[in-house]
Amino acid sequence: MQTQQPFLSNAWYAAALATEVDTDILFNRTILNTSVVLYRTKNGEAVALHDRCPHRFAPLSMGSREEDVLVCPYHGLKFDSNGACVHNPHGAQRIPERCSVKRFPLVERDGFLWIWMGDAEADLNAIPDYTPLVSGHENSVGFTYMYIKANYQLILDNVMDLSHIDHLHGEIISTRGKLSPVAPALTETTNTVTARWEWTQQPAMLILNQFLPEPDDEARQFFDITWTAPANIQLSVGATQDADAPLSLDSSVGQYDLHTCTPETATTTHYFFATRRNHIEDDAEYNAFKIQAMHDAFVTEDGPILEALQKEMNTDDLFGMRPVLMSNDVAPVKMRQHLIKLIDMERGQ
Amino acid sequence: MQTQQPFLSNAWYAAALATEVDTDILFNRTILNTSVVLYRTKNGEAVALHDRCPHRFAPLSMGSREEDVLVCPYHGLKFDSNGACVHNPHGAQRIPERCSVKRFPLVERDGFLWIWMGDAEADLNAIPDYTPLVSGHENSVGFTYMYIKANYQLILDNVMDLSHIDHLHGEIISTRGKLSPVAPALTETTNTVTARWEWTQQPAMLILNQFLPEPDDEARQFFDITWTAPANIQLSVGATQDADAPLSLDSSVGQYDLHTCTPETATTTHYFFATRRNHIEDDAEYNAFKIQAMHDAFVTEDGPILEALQKEMNTDDLFGMRPVLMSNDVAPVKMRQHLIKLIDMERGQ
Amino acid sequence: MQTQQPFLSNAWYAAALATEVDTDILFNRTILNTSVVLYRTKNGEAVALHDRCPHRFAPLSMGSREEDVLVCPYHGLKFDSNGACVHNPHGAQRIPERCSVKRFPLVERDGFLWIWMGDAEADLNAIPDYTPLVSGHENSVGFTYMYIKANYQLILDNVMDLSHIDHLHGEIISTRGKLSPVAPALTETTNTVTARWEWTQQPAMLILNQFLPEPDDEARQFFDITWTAPANIQLSVGATQDADAPLSLDSSVGQYDLHTCTPETATTTHYFFATRRNHIEDDAEYNAFKIQAMHDAFVTEDGPILEALQKEMNTDDLFGMRPVLMSNDVAPVKMRQHLIKLIDMERGQ
């Protein structure tokens, strides 16, 4: 049976939350099947190197640091933060040719460390821009990381088809059946798919209604999601009871979220999530409660289904398995089609 | 090296003990590499469906029930007990073409749920008939289930060659070396192999002698086993001290057993066992003790050897490994030869 | 990518420490992907048989012993210590043709049981000779066994390039940076590679300096290592403060070690180590402390790196991965080149 596409490699992926990497540790993470060591120089700059000494392939993350220099744990070769070998203790101490470690382009932005794994030159104009995440009060934003034993596209499918929330999740984010009948409005570019749903429900979603003037009354709501290749989905959701207001995040009670998925392997994914709300923005306790609740919902509600899909599908290709597709699949299917095209293009096919 | 035959698929296998499936739960079991969800309708009828929603392949067994209807946990599609989609909450709520789940023929009989996994029409005349299991006192019969990490044919081999009992098992069922020298009488049809052993031992097997007139004296004994394709072995064993009695279950102290093996994968098996005795039939305490003791013997004595064989043989074909065969292999070898023919025939070879 | 060479099979490997195998147990160990059962006859002779009954492939090590005869746990076939079937309890009790178990040549020498797994006739002239191990006081020698989840050549590389000790290991065996600059002197034969390092350090290695006349003063030191195909490395290390003494084990404080690696599979290895010192030879307490300390250093310092290399390299071929090689790689690279030649020759390439 046809198997899954390879990954798009000339693209930015979230390597880590900015807070996962600090100046004290050497942080190992496998990204697109490649071992990466992440750390911060004494200036605070985050660096990503291939976590493989070119000599005998020992992981540098098992070694030690001397200021910004990494020391291989096995035979003591030293590499600076550019990946250049700066010391060879052996023989005449000559630095051998080819003795360097690949440094991956890494950019810190909006609370994430974005990495470029491909061989093509990193496209600095393409660094994801999710500035709203970090534009508000520090107590209005939360970040979290989840490890999911499923292919990253299954996670993207999950977010692109928000109709699942009334079925998989609890009362707290229910649309009371109002979302599923709505066909989303779609717009596309080469590397983006945007979908928008609008509806009315009573009361509004329970994560939002408590902040509306009349919590128990009807409210107009919307979802806006934009997938940007390869694996970022920005989601905005809002509710308003002002009949004259435009249905947008600026004029409603809502939140601005980012879901971003970084393949570890074909069957495992680093799943990052960030959310910024536009209400009770200075409430640290609520902020901590909310990100934990969302983390837990992903882990206990989405996670088991996604991992069950992975087991059932193994590495077969979704379309090759001839799924029965419905109106709610339009956004994830468009997304997958764009991704296939981009991957084929990258591979010169 | 030559690898094992595929499974015979147009055939009845035990999907579960009747008692494993009730009206409260959705019971998942993988059978011939396929996920199956088993449940009972409110009328008590047992049903088997492919445990895979045709939309995004989520397991229906992770979802919920609304009376006899299964609700997919992921996007809320509903399927009746025939596997037909009866509700689509999305868009215009039209039921998509092809939107159904395969219902596998499932028949409840003799304490088992028998399933037909193949694409050919289920042969209702071929449903296994082990009525004696359920024809006596309720306290005279026991059923049990074991999960064995070995190919199903290794388990069938084990039962078809009863000479192993003096070597692998303890005193309790010893024939005191009398069984191994006996060449069994064989009879065959296309899909059955029957073997019969007769011998005399003193005392009789310890599971039987206590119910004979003179427990310590010599007794005549017999084993009758019949394999029926694909994976059922009916075994009767009895002992008598009446010199004039025919050597049959009716005129001896004995029991009527069924061993039936259902492949989960090429290397793992659902092993079911049932036994009905014809003595102290109303003794509930003895009944519970006996089925537990037999279960434990399978798990602690046969199980480790079967799993060691699986490790040693991996997925190589038994005959391809050129085993040294002996007189005691005649029944299992005949069984494997019939099975190969039946599988080849099914595959049009 | 090119994958690792197969094993050299017509050669002697350490099957076990002599003390691992005694007269009471049937000891199972997988060697070059083959199950072997090791035991001692009542005369004390160590025997190695294929741990696979030729009938149904049950492991004989799961069975029982009757004096020197092994009884198969499954159907009671009996095999003597030559692997010949001496009893078949079935039918007419005739011993079937081909009914034997392969007996592997096994020789006890220098505290090890050496096994020959190949099909060619065992070369008794090629049995490894490490007599010095067992030529001193019984309290001057220690033996240990470690199970490492890495290809055996990665372990051999580790020992052949002793420059790692200043980087991977602690203060106790540090050369204080004096070893890495030294290019070892090499000598080779078809199936051996010898390397020798000489240097001066102050103080001497902490495992040795306490036994020198002036522990804190400078000492001359040496390492001598000889790899002998397929997987034995004899290492001698010594230190002296006598300016006129030759730099040899006889005239220094030092030890005579053997590292020998036996492949279990392509990715797992039985790693044996033995060491004999030439000082405080009768000190049993120090002897026990020392072998335990060396065992712990292998397990906690070398082991994690070796297993990380295995994960990173998987079954790819070292040279195919284009390692950056340095002056310290000369001995392990020569060793691998000889090994490739010997394996190719064995396979007629």
pLDDT digits (tens, 9 = 90+) for A129-153: 999 999 999 999 999 999 999 999 9
Tell me the per-residue pLDDT of C191-201, one tens digit each, with 9 for 90 and over.
Answer: 999 999 999 99
Q: Do A181 and B59 touch (CB under 8 A)?
A: no
Residue A75: pLDDT over 90:
yes
Verify whether the Cβ–Cβ distance C59 to B166 is below 8 Å. no
Query: Is A166's CB within 8 Å of B57's CB?
Result: no
Tell me which chain A residues have a C-beta less than 8 angstroms from the C-beta of C164: 74-75
Which residues are A221's β-sheet partners? A199, A239
What is the rounded CA–CA span in Å between residue B183 and residue A255?
80
Q: Are B319 and B210 in contact (CB under 8 A)?
A: no
DSSP string, C17-66: EGGG--SS--EEEEETTEEEEEEE-TT--EEEEESS-TTT---GGGSEEE
pLDDT score for A2: 64
Q: Write down the pLDDT at residue C89.
A: 95
- What whole-number distance in Å separates Cα of residue B37 and Cα of residue B49? 5
pLDDT in tens, C42-53: 999 999 999 999
Residues B200-246: pLDDT tens digits? 999 999 999 999 999 999 999 999 999 999 999 999 999 999 999 99
- Whether A178 has a pLDDT exceeding 80, the answer reads yes
Average pLDDT over residues C94-108: 97
Residues 6+ apart with CB under 8 A from C292: none
The CA angle A119-A122-A128, to the nearest 5 degrees, is 130
Contact B180 C54 (CB under 8 A): no
With H, G, I as helix, E, B as strand and everything else as coil, classify residue A334: helix
Q: What is the CA radius of gyration of chain A?
A: 22
Report the run of H or E that residue C339 belongs to, with start and end.
helix C330-346
Per-residue pLDDT in tens (0 to 9) along chain B, 349 residues: 566 779 999 999 999 999 999 888 899 999 999 999 999 999 999 999 999 999 999 999 999 999 999 999 999 999 999 999 999 999 999 999 999 999 999 999 999 999 999 999 999 999 999 999 999 999 999 999 999 999 999 999 999 999 999 999 988 899 999 999 998 999 999 999 999 999 999 999 999 999 999 999 999 999 999 999 999 999 999 999 999 999 999 999 999 999 999 999 999 999 999 999 999 999 999 999 999 999 999 999 999 999 999 999 998 999 999 999 999 999 999 999 999 999 999 998 6
Task: Indicate the pLDDT class of residue C5, thresholds 50, 70 and 90.
Answer: confident
Number of other residues whose CB lies within 10 A of the CB of residue C327: 19
Q: State chain C's mean pLDDT as an integer.
A: 96
Look at B308 and C62 and tell me if their CB atoms are within 8 Å.
Answer: yes
**Confidence at residue A241, expressed as pLDDT on a 0 to 100 scale:** 98
- Confidence grade of residue C1 (pLDDT, cut at 50, 70, 90): low
What is the DSSP code string of A221-271?
EEEEEEEETTTEEEEEEEEE--TTS-SSGGGSEEEEEEEEEEEEETTEEEE
Whether the CA torsion B329, B330, B332, B337 is positive or negative: it is positive
Distance from CA of B322 to the nearest CA of A (A): 33
Backbone angles phi, psi at A225, to 5 degrees: -130, 140
Smallest CA–CA distance, residue B151 to chain C, in Å, is 14
Q: Which residue has the tokens 């005449």?
A: A92
> Smallest Cα–Cα separation from B148: which of B336, B316, B302, B312?
B302
pLDDT in tens, A162-174: 999 999 998 889 9
Task: Report the pLDDT value the prediction gives residue B2, as an integer from 0 to 100.
Answer: 64
Peptide bond into A230 cis (omega under 30): yes
* pLDDT, position A24: 83
Q: How many Å lie between the alpha carbon of C78 and the closest alpha carbon of chain B?
A: 11
- The partner residue sitting opposite A326, judged by closest CB among B58, B59, B96, is B96
> Residue A128's closest CA among A232, A45, A225?
A232
pLDDT above 70 for A3: no
Of B75, B91, B97, the CB nearest to A181: B91
CA A285 to chain CA centroid, Å, is 25
- Span C162-186, mean pLDDT? 93
Q: What is the pLDDT of residue A107?
A: 98
Predicted pLDDT at C23: 82
A193, pLDDT greater than 70: yes
Paired residues of C174 in beta bridges: none
Percentage, residues of chain B above pLDDT 90: 95
Tell me which chains share at least 3 CB pairs under 8 Å with chain B: A, C
At residue B23, the pLDDT reads 82
- pLDDT above 60 for A45: yes
Average pLDDT of the segment spanning A92-103: 95
